[in-house]
Amino acid sequence: MPAPNSQMPPAVGLPFPPSPQSAQSPPPYSPSAPPSTSPSTAAAPSFLPLDQLFTNPVFAGGLGLASLGAAAAFGRRTLIQGTALLRRQLLVNIEISKRDPSYSWVLAWLAQPRDNSGFIAQRLTRLRSLSVTTTTKSLSKVAGEEGNGRTHADFRVQPGFGHHIVRHKPGVYIAVNREKASTATTATGEPHETLTLTLLWMHRHVLAEVFTQAHELAQSFQQGKTVVYTARNMQWTVLGKPRLKRPLGSVILDEGVKESLVADVKEFMAAQEWYTERGVPYRRGYLLYGPPGTGKTSFIQALAGELDYSVAMINLSEMGMTDDLLAQLLTQLPEKSILLLEDVDAALVNRRQRDPDGYSGRSVTASGLLNALDGLAAGEDRIAFLTTNHIDKLDPALIRPGRVDMMVRIGEASRYQAGQMWDRYYGDVDTDHKGRERFLERLDGLGLFGGDQKDPAVPKRHTSTAAIQGLFQFHKGDMEGAIKMAEHLIPRTYEPEPPTVEGSIKSPA
């Protein structure tokens, strides 16, 4: 009997074929072998034949182009953002508006000639867009030759609108972009302008040098001149060209008046710390009153030249000037300037007059002027001068202490003033002063110094320093002619002409 574990020998030469069941029996299961599928159990056809789409050359080409476009757009966006990041990290920009005073300073600084030697500098700093600023002046008698009415023109070339590159110093370049905005000032319609300076972050300290040099250059242009500002369109603007400083000695007031005013102003300028320590508003007001032509405005102009200050004028009678605008202007005075309010008596007259439609227009009220001079809206660090020809017409509240700290009358020409003016005009030819004495005696005889107390027959008259100056200017170098025509200094009164009959023709007698 064979062992249970012994194998049976294979049958040899069996004539029977294998049964169909054995032929169709599945192979033994193997965990690693994938399950086989028969044709009868195959998956149903797909509605999205992706294999056919990807094998389609048209679709594959379009997909490739779209991928390239997306990659290019992504690269472009990355490049733009990277460039912007580098600009923020490596560059510094400073924008200057035309409303800022430094706008004209920097433009004048950019117009200065520069050393652009070198291969790189010659090719980077070529200015192809320029603008011209022209100043003219009449030629006078120079070196014994007449100007013949000719005009001298001074042309100053500066960068125009667009992009420019200037060389500040070796290795330091500044990109300049001057552009005109699409917006404009509402009042004037003048378009806004901006000036943008761009330079490397490592050279940012150069900006301090640029503004310092530009300011010094602007000061050199105005050296020996007085700048006059006026209120226009809710802001301060320069009125015309800077004027030559008027010497303080050319304005002759009565004895001691000019000296006391100048001493008081200088004392105020030196006492800013004193005002601050005591909590007192640092401002000073002066009122100069008297008849016209006595030198009130001339003294203010000469004082500004003496102090190296500018003059900021406000016309209170100007149409459109309101209380709010006046307060805003007084809080934004140009630095180192004297505020001048002329003829304050005339500015507040006829405020009740209205147009036929009942509208009186915008104007400055008395309360608005008082608050602007000494109120919550009043500014600090201010020297204000008010002038009037009729002090009796002023509101007492306007000239109280705090608004007006010092009142000085600039009156008619006195004997002292007439003598000082004579020496100024004829001192070089009247060396022995005999001509001055004759001229003063002539004015005494005409009663132009208020009459003669010893002789009641002499009429009491007065003349102004402006009239004496006009007489001397008419007789340049001719003191005898000035003495002979002294009677022209007598004030004249003009009577109105009688009304004529309507339709009549007036003919000379």
E strands along 34-146, which residues?
A: 91-97, 130-138
C-alpha to C-alpha distance for 347 and 389, rounded to whole angstroms: 12
Global pTM value: 0.68
Domain boundaries, the chain: 90-128+158-221, 243-349+362-409, 415-489
Cβ(421)–Cβ(415) below 8 Å: no
CATH entry 3.30.1340.30 includes domain 243-349+362-409: no
Residue with tokens 């599945």: 26
Angle (CA) 8 14 15, round 5°: 165
Q: Which amino acid is at 437?
A: E
Per-residue pLDDT of the chain (509 residues; tens, 9 = 90+): 444 444 444 444 444 445 444 444 555 544 444 454 444 444 555 555 666 666 767 766 677 778 888 888 888 888 888 877 777 778 888 888 888 888 888 888 888 877 777 777 777 777 677 788 777 766 554 444 445 556 777 777 777 888 888 888 888 888 888 888 776 665 555 678 888 998 888 888 888 888 898 888 888 877 788 889 988 777 788 887 788 889 998 999 999 999 999 999 999 999 999 998 988 888 899 999 999 889 999 999 999 999 999 999 988 877 778 888 888 888 888 888 999 998 888 766 544 444 454 445 557 788 888 888 887 767 778 899 999 988 888 888 888 887 888 999 998 899 999 999 999 999 889 888 899 999 999 898 888 888 766 667 777 888 989 999 999 999 988 999 999 998 888 887 766 666 655 555 555 54
Q: Tell me how long the chain is.
A: 509
**How do 337-341 and 382-388 pair as beta strands?**
parallel
C-alpha to C-alpha distance for 267 and 262, rounded to whole angstroms: 9
Cβ(94)–Cβ(197) below 8 Å: yes
C-alpha to C-alpha distance for 297 and 455, rounded to whole angstroms: 35
